[in-house]
Amino acid sequence: MFQELLSNEYVIPLSLGFGFGIVCRIYLLQTDYRQYPTYPHGKIIHVSLGVIASALGALAVPSLLKQDYTAVTFLTVAAQQFRDVRNMERTTLTEIDKRELIPRGGPYIEGIAMVFEGRNYLVIFTSLLTTFATVLFDWWGGVLAGIGTLLVSRWLKSGKNLSHIVDVVPAEVRVDGKDLYVGDIYIMNVGLRDAQDVIKKQGLGFILVPKDANASVTIAHPGQRQAILHDVAVQMGLFTDEGEPSLTPLIKRDLASGRLGVFLLPQVMDQERAKIVIESVPILESVFRKPLESPAAAEGGAHGG
């Protein structure tokens, strides 16, 4: 039976496609500063789904070559299942977010849920292309195709961050009477003397200067601002507790220039590290705007130039 299995013309293509698909999912799965997915149960769920996605992608090629089109319809069923994965992640993260001192916010959660769905499609693409290349060119073609798709997955894995659209400039945190400022940007009113003392000791300030109009609109979104505060709180700690509204990190916008004043209360007082953290905050897909590429902007530029 084992010899009959090895003599099957699709054993090597299926094995390579299945293997590279699983490798792709494991490579794309990581527990980072966002602390999700948890280890090991969250990883078990997503690796298992990756195995299913890899098997579906690999089996699609022999099914098509044998004109068994009914088998290919399982891909549509898989797509529905992966949409359910997105809903599952959204629900889980929303529940976790309720008990965060600095929540992620809805747009951040939606972005993470979208990534988990999309990466299963990358696994299907990897296994399908690897299997097809093996059938077409022999095992070496499948290996090259598998490595190529892994490189593509690596490129798609890393999106843009804030350093691409803003300049992060350290700024002085000052309390003028009861008014708190970061540079020249007003943040909030702080009436308690004890809170003012804590802010003077632990406060860090930054001004985010947008590089163009696209960046100005993007960072103005409350969801993107919330992502900044959450990432800094997770990576550098938070010098506050529940029921301390005067010790809450905030971001306020200068309406005239579009700049953001960022007020932080990190547990770790390291301005350079805080700057790096802010620059590394991902640009959320659901809030990214490009008004300069709209037809109206292009027409205005043509008339103005």
User: What pTM was computed for the model?
Assistant: 0.79
Q: What pLDDT does 57 receive? A: 82
Work out the average pLDDT over 209-215.
87
**What does the pLDDT look like over 140-163, one tens digit per residue?**
888 898 898 888 887 877 778 898
Q: For residues 252 and 263, what is the distance between their CA atoms, to the nearest angstrom? A: 8
Q: Could you tell me the pLDDT band of residue 209, with boundaries at 50, 70 and 90?
A: very high
**What does the pLDDT look like over 234-288, one tens digit per residue?**
888 888 877 777 888 999 999 888 899 999 999 888 889 999 999 989 888 877 7
pLDDT at 228 over 90: yes
Work out the average pLDDT over 39-60.
78
Q: Could you tell me the pLDDT band of residue 214, with boundaries at 50, 70 and 90?
A: confident
- What are the residue boundaries of the structural domains of the chain, listed by start? 2-158, 163-291
Q: For residues 171 and 274, what is the distance between their CA atoms, to the nearest angstrom? A: 12
pLDDT at 55 over 90: no
Q: For residues 46 and 113, what is the distance between their CA atoms, to the nearest angstrom? A: 12
Q: For residues 177 and 189, what is the distance between their CA atoms, to the nearest angstrom? A: 9
CA nearest neighbour of 250 among 166, 193, 172, 182: 182
Q: Who's near 208: CB < 8 A, 6+ residues apart?
A: 162, 166, 167, 168, 169, 219, 259, 260, 262, 278
Using CA atoms, how far residue 148 sits from 122, 124, 143, 154, in Å, is: 12, 14, 8, 10
Query: Mean pLDDT over all residues of the chain?
Result: 81
CA nearest neighbour of 134 among 14, 236, 300, 231: 14
Work out the average pLDDT over 78-83.
75
110-114, 128-132, 219-223, 263-267, range with the lowest pLDDT: 110-114
pLDDT at 94 over 70: yes
**Choice between 191 and 233, residue whose per-residue pLDDT is larger:** 233
Q: What pLDDT does 182 receive? A: 92
CA nearest neighbour of 170 among 272, 253, 282, 279: 272
Three-state secondary-structure class, residue 183: coil
Pair 233, 102: CB distance under 8 Å: yes
Q: What pLDDT does 5 receive? A: 46
Q: Could you tell me the pLDDT band of residue 305, with boundaries at 50, 70 and 90?
A: very low
